[in-house]
Structure 1
Amino acid sequence: MNAHNLIHIGLPKTGTTSLQNGWLGNDNVTLSNDGLGSLVEIIRQAIRDDLWYEQIPPIPKPEWDKVVATSQVNIWSSEGLSSWLWNNAAAQEQISKCRWYMADSMAKVVSEATVLIVVRSPQAWCKSIYKQLIQEGGFVSPEEFIQQESGYLSGTLDIRELYEVWAEYFGRENVLIAPFEWIKSDLVKLNSKVCQSMNLCDKTNLFKGVQQANKSITDKEVRFLADLSRQLTQLEIRAEICPASFTKAKQDLLTALRLELQTAHQISNFVDKQVPEINLQLQLNDAMKKHIQQNFIEFLHDYNHEWFGHYHL
């Protein structure tokens, strides 16, 4: 029996790690996630070098991270398939080119597949990306973040384009867009819809073992991390005797602190008492709002109002 194929392409910050960890332990599926790394990086480098698609070096066939001999389902999963890199002053043109190159390359790997796109509320998604930047050592303000990343945020949230690109290669009926809320609270429904799209019996549990990821850091913790990163960076750039030690200490401290905040309680309680109340808001500019309204909100309302009618700016 030929296996069914599922290509999961993100978006970023929509439960990808939870899904991949679940699939790694799921004896119903064969999985390639890290195995897609070479494909994704070769295409990203081609875009950095402003190459035409025909100029891209040969791309090795993706490797499997886990093989189940009796599996009915092969899954390819990478957020890198859906957009360009954030924190790289992304332009709409780069994101569009990335999507076409990724979809075309995957169509050469597997000719027939269901494509799974997971989305979440635009405001919540933008805020999650900002939190990720802070967790990785950034310390820009929300206003600076919007100014610097408006191209990436608007371009990545152009779900109309993302859908059309992948539908061009795999067919409209084979591109499934699902709300992030299903991963958080209704895996049964997600499983049913994906199985239905793949013509699989919904007794096949594709999401067995999927668990919630680490908790999101709070607004207070975001402020605390940003302030700490700013102070550590000032020390780092002024270090004269052993600057490399300052750099390593900063990285180690921020990594350890992030882990504590996401998985434990004592430091979280300390931060909660030390930092004044804050309501972290990202104010999108008018151009972003118009683009997201047309190519995310209105598109998804037309795609399936029952699933996405609660999404608004």
Structure 2
Amino acid sequence: MNIECIHIGMPKTATTYLQNVWFQDPAYCLSYLGCSPLVTQIHKIISTGKGMNEPVTVRTDKTYVEGQKVIISNEGFSTPFMNADPETQKKAYSYISLCSESLRKYFPNCQNILLTIREPKAWIKSMYTQGIKMGSHGSCQEFVDINELFLKASFDLRYLVNEFRKKFNNVIVLPYEMLKENKDQFWEVWSCCLDLPIPRPLNSSEKFNVSPGDKRIYWLSQINSQCSKVFKTLINSPSYQKNVKLANLKTEWEALNNSYLNTNKWVHRRFAEYANDSQINEMYEMLNMSFPEKTFFDFTIGADLKFEIKKNFIDFLKKENLIKDNYVKQYEANLSE
């Protein structure tokens, strides 16, 4: 089967929506979950230097039917190491290079790369929210401060596009804002650039990976913080860890260590996403919580980071004429505010 297009992200640019369009259209066959082992292997190689020779199988998410157009799609191919320590975040460029090399190796006949992008400030806020949903905590400014290296690499469009151009003939960039404003136009441009049929649209009422509102995100941030503190207390408790070493709590500790934070993360996330407003309000009252000042969600982009975004993201878009000028102007205006 021929791979027609590899969609590499960025995350939080309606990637879940795009994947569901391709997944549900019988003319297409999607590999999202099916290519996750490759993303995991690349993470492992760059993070630890291990896993170079481990075999990886990439599959489609549904059984391939002869004649279908196969789309590889995973946002993990473009933006690594959010909330990681600074030394790991510095490896983002090596990660991107290895993604390009690996995708060329696994899909030698594919020439089309799709990258979807988004206005920088809106993307940062959306990534902060996603981080809270994944188990982190703290204010939006704290997120920006600890992720400066991650953000610099994420907005280095110059490096990312040039790395993929070394391996693929056709790298196209489309703005999230076009998809949000006019889905038909987005798919027409995509179809024209890649010479592929326009996919069948989803039901207009269908939404995917919708972010909770600020009130729910603040609650989730606080709960994540409490869970983290509870777990760190156990890790740093001399008396508890002594009992663990004496073996009578070894099995218990292994179970907690392997599951606690991950399981609680998902329970709390789903509560934030699916509880009704009265249940959220009840939880605020139960925990004696007050909704924070608006500044909890405000953030300032420092001069150095702003310079890097301007140089490697906005100016590169201008120079290469990758998307329509009106989007670039809006990106630049918002960054200057």
TM-score, shorter chain, exceeding 0.5:
yes
Q: Secondary structure at the match of 1:165?
A: helix
Residue 291 of structure 2 corresponds to: 275
Distance in 1 between the 2:3 and 2:224 partners?
46
Cα deviation digits, residues 185-242 of structure 1 (max 9, x gap): 42212211111111234xx326546842243222333322222322343344446698
Residue 106 of structure 1 corresponds to: 103
For residue 88 of structure 1, report the CA deviation from its aligned partner. 1.7
Contact 2:217 2:272 in 1 (8 A): no
Residue 29 of structure 1 corresponds to: 28
Q: RMSD of the TM alignment (CA)?
A: 3.1
Distance in 1 between the 2:52 and 2:228 partners?
38
- 1:74-93, aligned counterparts within 5 Å? 74-89=70-85, 93=90
Going from structure 1 to structure 2, the CA distance change for 1:250 and 1:199 (only over 3 Å counts) comes to closer
Residue 188 of structure 1 corresponds to: 184
One-letter identity of the residue aligned with 1:127 = K
Residue 310 of structure 1 corresponds to: 330
For residue 117 of structure 1, report the CA deviation from its aligned partner. 0.6
Residue 46 of structure 1 corresponds to: 45
- 1:1-313, aligned counterparts within 5 Å? 3=2, 5-50=4-49, 56-57=52-53, 59-89=55-85, 93-108=90-105, 109-171=107-169, 174-201=170-197, 204-205=198-199, 208=202, 211-238=206-233, 252=263, 254-266=265-277, 267-268=279-280, 274-279=290-295, 280-302=297-319, 303=321, 304=323, 305-312=325-332, 313=335
Distance in 1 between the 2:134 and 2:85 partners?
17
Larger radius of gyration: 2
One-letter identity of the residue aligned with 2:145 = Q
Structure 2 residues without counterparts, runs of 5 or longer = 235-239, 241-248
Identity over the aligned pairs, expressed in percent? 26
Distance in 2 between the 1:139 and 1:71 partners?
46
Contact 2:14 2:176 in 1 (8 A): yes
Cα deviation digits, residues 161-206 of structure 1 (max 9, x gap): 11111112112xx2111111234342212211111111234xx326
Any runs of at least 4 consecutive aligned residues in structure 1 with deviations exceeding 6 A, and if so which? Answer: 241-250
Cα deviation digits, residues 275-294 of structure 1 (max 9, x gap): 14524112222111110111
Contact 2:141 2:298 in 1 (8 A): no
* TM-score, normalised by the number of residues in structure 2: 0.78
One-letter identity of the residue aligned with 1:306 = N
Distance in 1 between the 2:101 and 2:44 partners?
16
Distance in 2 between the 1:183 and 1:269 partners?
34
Going from structure 1 to structure 2, the CA distance change for 1:205 and 1:100 (only over 3 Å counts) comes to same
Going from structure 1 to structure 2, the CA distance change for 1:231 and 1:92 (only over 3 Å counts) comes to closer
Structure 1 residues without counterparts, runs of 5 or longer = none
Contact 2:90 2:149 in 1 (8 A): no
